[in-house]
Amino acid sequence: MRTAPTILHLDMDAFFASAEQAAKPSLRGKAVVVGGLGVRGVVATASYEARVFGVHSAMPMAQARRLAPNAAYLVPRFQLYRDVSEQVMGLLRELSPLVEPLSLDEAFVDLEAGGTAWDETSARLVGAKLRADIRAVTGLTGSVGLAASKMIAKIASEQAKPDGLVLIEPGTERALLGPMSVRTLPGVGPATGDHLRRAGITTVEEIAEAGEDELVRLVGKAHGHALYAMALAHDDRPVVAEREAKSVSVEDTYEVDIHDRVRVATEVQRLADRCVVRLRKAGRSGRTVVLKVRRYDFSTLTRSETLRGPTDDPSVVSEAAARLLDSVDTTGGVRLLGVGVTGLADYTQEDLFAQAQAAAGELLAQEQAEEEGVPETVTETEAPAERRWPSGHDVRHAEYGHGWVQGSGLGRVTVRFETPYSGPGRVRTFRTDDPALEPADPLPLVAPVPGAGGAAEDAGTASGTAAVTDAEESAEERGGQAGPASSEPASRPKSRSGGAGDARSSP
């Protein structure tokens, strides 16, 4: 291990929720929960205000609503999170060529490789400047851990939360780890933790005292050796700039179990197409197609088929997924479906048979139509489906400017018109098919440079016309479903949460 704390671990604070609070002035300082809002949705991120009520990541959304019924519940805006993440990762790459992203909001940095830190003093200065730069560029906060190894740096960033910096001096790692729970160590989950607890081992120091042989006997050879090394604070893993993806997959959980076999097949085809889109965006191909099915009783089945060579052809992946589905019994209903591709490569070996088969089918259909004199198919125009307005997503109104969806239902959508650079904005309700209301792209969280135009001008429109005080807000801010627009004053004491539908906020 190195002798200076030059490995930095950055973890943005409640990233998704903090980004939403920064974008929505009316939610700052209030409980915000981001995740799937359906019956089977789960919490992706909870703001620190929501965590006071016991809400945390990976919790079922229904449980979160019981714990914090007045929180603002928002659908994730991944485009915004990716944009902010790119800004943060750009700042990290200025410090070192060795940046190892773990997710959108978390990364390791080898400061020594970049020549930006070589001892405790320089590392602390770099960490402090990074936190200031992140706040200036994104308006958000991040916690920084500094240590001589990746494991200890990550533990340090956890101790620094929220919005702090902790540096662990080399040589003090054993004393730090000793009294900590065994669950602190990477790879020790609930099952391994319970197994160790039954053996009388509850702290990291007790792991070290148990000895390597005893750990191998308890948890197996590979895990036992690794666990003993971590308890002694031995971690020589390098910071790796690029971590190669091993698979590409997509999956959906359905609010109501799907019983119709035809619809199940349709969903599998749709997932296969989405999977190929991701595969192509990554510039990869894959050789093995994997189908995942979770049935009504929570039992999960996986089936896979290995092709003759790597492919990114949507028809090949779809056909393989359909064949795999044929071997799965979906009687009783399906609650989750997923399609993935593994065995990734950066080249493709086209499935010529599949392509030829598709071309032959099209030619045969054309010839039959010509011989039989089949008239040209006329497609009937269907009535347009009602537009969906996910809670928390951006919109723009021709008259009122930029805003975000507070809730929708019963043919109505409630919008709060505010921007990251304005005060709390006015709330108005519209019909879901209002032609003046359109989806919009997220605005930057930090005000653009004056005169830059574009988003800055849009933001100016909203901030100049929509900023109001609580006393000016209309009765449209009541909870529950969005109601019709009204200019009448509220008939009861008004909640300061200011939300309709799923975007309620705690006082």
Q: Is 106 a catalytic residue?
A: yes
* pLDDT score at 370: 52
Catalytic residue among 20, 106, 173, 418: 106
pLDDT of residue 218: 87
Q: Specify the 3-state DSSP secondary structure of 137.
A: helix
Q: What is the mean pLDDT of the chain?
A: 83
pLDDT at res. 384: 55
Predicted local distance difference test score (pLDDT) of residue 61: 92
Give the pLDDT score at 91: 96
**Residue 422: count of CB within 10 angstroms of its CB:** 22
- Where are the extended beta strands (E) located within 168-284? 247-258
Instruction: Say which range, 40-49, 132-141, 169-178, 213-222, has the weakest mean pLDDT.
Output: 213-222
- pLDDT tens digits, residue range 314-371? 999 999 999 999 999 988 899 999 999 998 887 655 444 444 455 455 555 555 555 5
pLDDT, position 376: 47
Query: What is the β-pairing status of strands 426-431 and 437-439?
Result: unpaired
Q: What is the Rg, in whole angstroms, of the alpha carbon atoms belonging to the chain?
A: 27
Q: Which string of DSSP letters, residue by residue, matches 446-496?
A: SPPPTT--THHHHHHHHHHHHB--GGG--GGG-SSS------SPPSSPPPT
51-55, 121-125, 400-404, 445-449, range with the lowest pLDDT: 445-449
pLDDT above 80: residue 257: yes
Residue 296 pLDDT: 86
Residues 413-458 pLDDT 10s = 999 999 999 999 999 999 999 999 999 999 999 987 665 544 444 4
Convert the pLDDT of each residue in 123-144 to its tens digit.
999 999 999 999 999 999 999 9
> What is the average pLDDT across 168-195?
90
Pick the more confident residue, 409 or 127: 127
